[in-house]
Structures are given as C-alpha cells and as structure tokens.
Structure 1
C-alpha cells in the first residue's frame, strides 16, 4: 500500500482512503491491483526474461486493458531495475531530475519498491509517494516529478503510454525543490 510523506511538514499518510483522497486532490491517479495474482516465482525476481515479462503482462491483462481504455493508453511494457541492471547509477541519475512529460507517467508496481517525488499544489509543495507491489500511479502530463528506487534498489513495473514511442522527459528547473 502506498505511503505519502509531505516534505514541507514531514507528515506521513498511510491509510488507504487518506492516500487516495490526498492524491486525488493533487490530480494524481492512484489505484491498487491485487499483488497476490502474480505467480510466486516472479515475486522477487528483478532480472526478467521476455517470457517473464509476457507472464506479468498476461497476469494483469484485464487490469491493464481497463486502465488503458479509461485513460487512452495505447501501448504498455515492463521495466525492471535492480542492482543487476547494467549502469544502474547512471540510469537513476537520469531519473532523479525533476521533469515533466507531454503525457501521463504511469507505473503499476508488480514487485519491489519505488518512490515518486511529485510537486503538489502551492500549499502542499513536494511530496513523496512510496510504492510497493500492487500500487498503480499516474502522474498527469505537465506535473513536475521524478522517480527513483527505494533502499531495496529493485522494482518491476508495468508502464503505459499514449504515444507508441513512449514519453520524453522535459527538465523542470525549480529552485523550490530540495532533495
């Protein structure tokens, strides 16, 4: 279940209903899929074959298609990151810059943990959304954010896109952001 930390106040929100309410007010879509659907042999597997990726996509096919139909997403894939990922520090450095996109950034976490840092409304400022298996988030186009891994340094997620080529990050310079 997702947990939120508001950076300005260090307030934490962990109750499912309160998490959903908070994210809705920030225009961020949040859902929770049944993580227990994932076959056991994929629960903690972060180096995936094409067959593994296909099995994950097949397992969550109805959820993916439902979300895609509701939100206009046309293509999806799997991203897997872990200590075994070549050049992981360089990849994370690219992710860990505040940016925006011309379409939503959608992640459905199937294994591991990750964190989105998102710029909220003026009153809220930046907040962290800590995600684990079953959490689904969609950061709207144009909303400043970035994504990184948690201490476990391992995640598998379904990514959904409107444009078949995927999204491109546009840097967002914000003096108000402090890591």
Structure 2
C-alpha cells in the first residue's frame, strides 16, 4: 500500500483508508488493484518484451477500462524502468524536474516501486507507491516522479490525449528536489 511522507513536517501517513482520505483531500485519485491478476512470472520482471507488456495490459484490462471510462482516458501503455534501461540516469534527471501537465498523470504500479512528489495545499509530499497502487495526479498540479532505492518499476500509464502528456516546467525558488 502507498505511504505518504509530508516533506515539511516529516509526518507519515499509512494505511489504505488514511492514504486515500489524504490524497482525496489533495484531489489526487488513489486506488489499489488486485495484484493476484498479474502472471507470477511478471511479478518482479523489469525488462519486458512487447508480449509481456501485452500480458500485463490483458491481466488488468477490466481495471484499466473501468478507470478509463470514469476519467475519460483514451490510451494506455506500459513503462518499465530499471538499471537495465538505457540512459536511466539521464531519464531520471528529467523526471526530477518539478512540472505540470494539461492532462492527468496516471500510474498503476504493477512491479517495483516509485515516488511521486506532489505540491499540495501545505507543501510538498511524497507518495511512495507499491505494486497495486494507482494514482492520478490532476492536471496543472506541480509534481515529479522518481524511483526508490531499488531503481525499478513497471507501471501502466493512462492518457486523456492520445499524444500522451507534455511536461511544462514549474519553478519555485524556495523548493529543492533533494
């Protein structure tokens, strides 16, 4: 289950209901999908063939289509990142820039871990995501995504715009991503 860490106070929010309540207050959608749907051989696999990506999408097809219908998403894909990903450090450096989108940024974690850092009403907070966690950061909300120490994640991404989303830089003088 996801864990929230408030950067300003150090407060930690845990437990499905408390995390969901906090994120709802921030207008961030949070759900948890049943990970038993994922074929066992894909539970900890971070370098995926196109066929394996299709297997993940098939396994969660009902969940994806339900979310897509409720939130007007029209396209989805799989992203897999690990130390085997070419130019991973350069890619992560781009992710660590606070930005906004004119589209929601949606992730359903199917393996590994990731962190969304989001600007809320009272400052920045981390959303530490585990397999099964699904979030949708609303359009125009300052945020960035990075990996946890194990540096590996597989996630379903959903989009409203079939071209995907475009990051718009967000600058804030008193904020540092480190």
Task: Give me the TM-score of the superposition, normalised by structure 1.
Answer: 0.98
1:112 and 2:112 aligned: yes
Q: Which residue of 1 aligns with 2:73?
A: 73
Distance in 2 (alpha carbons) for counterparts of 1:42 and 1:88: 21
SS state at 1:21 partner = helix
Q: Which residue of 1 aligns with 2:55?
A: 55
1:12 and 2:12 aligned: yes
Q: Which residue of 1 aligns with 2:25?
A: 25
Superposition pairs for residues 1-179 of structure 1, below 5 Å?
1-121=1-121, 124-178=122-176, 179=178
Distance in 2 (alpha carbons) for counterparts of 1:147 and 1:6: 16
Q: Which ranges in structure 2 are unaligned for 5 or more consecutive residues?
A: none
Distance in 1 (alpha carbons) for counterparts of 2:29 and 2:16: 13
Q: Which ranges in structure 1 are unaligned for 5 or more consecutive residues?
A: none
Cα deviation for residue 177 of structure 1 reads: 1.8
SS state at 2:52 partner = helix
Count of residue pairs brought into register by the alignment: 177
RMSD of aligned residue pairs (Cα, Å): 0.6
Task: Give me the TM-score of the superposition, normalised by structure 2.
Answer: 0.98
Cα deviation for residue 154 of structure 1 reads: 0.3
Cα deviation for residue 33 of structure 1 reads: 0.2
Consecutive aligned runs of 4 or more in structure 1 exceeding 3 Å deviation: none
